[in-house]
Amino acid sequence: MKKRKKSRFMFCDRWIDRNWIVGSMETFQDLIVMVLCGSMFAVMLLQLWGIFRALSQPLNYKQVTAQILFILILVELFRLLVVYLQEHSIAVGVAVEIAIVSLLREVVVHGALDISWVQALSISGLLFVLGALLVVCAKIPHMDCMSAQTRFCPSFPPESGSSQHRNSELQKSNREALR
């Protein structure tokens, strides 16, 4: 009996290439992400138009500030999707920044004085955890690249004898294997 290749499998009495299926699915995912990018861009333009209309009327600072922060969140989400399209991995640092700005937007919209002490304490704890995660992402500059093993990862001069040096050597060997 003849063995079949690992990259092929049987489906409806025909041989279908697994690599072709995965490639098609990745292309379809890229198309979905591009549609999301276009939709977010349209929403950003609508929000900008709403800000300009709000500035022509008596000014409601809370509403204008909420709209501006919402546009900033959309810009960060757009940046996250662009990074995904380039590298097919999510940048953890950008996602944490989006979470922080979204949390602060909710505090601004609802007013810091209108929040109960339990909510204020939980928001403070969440901000502390997100800030710590952001610091960790900054200390390990290419944590996202190391997990994705892409060749877009820039290398920094390593500190000798440290784990960063070993990670740098691992990145170099991964880049050479990709070539």
Q: Looking at residue 157, what is its pLDDT?
A: 47
Q: Looking at residue 108, what is its pLDDT?
A: 81
DSSP letter at 170?
Answer: H
Provide block-wise average pLDDT over 10 residues at a time, the chain (179 residues): 57 66 88 93 92 84 84 90 86 86 85 83 92 86 54 50 54 58
CA distance 17 to 6: 10
Q: Looking at residue 172, what is its pLDDT?
A: 63
Cα distance between the two ends of the chain = 37
Q: Model-level pTM?
A: 0.61
- Taking the domains of the chain in order of start, what are their residue ranges? 14-151+168-178
For residues 41 and 77, is the Cβ–Cβ distance under 8 A?
no
- Give kind and range of the element (H or E) at residue 105: helix 92-110
Q: Looking at residue 95, what is its pLDDT?
A: 87
Residue with tokens 């995965």: 22
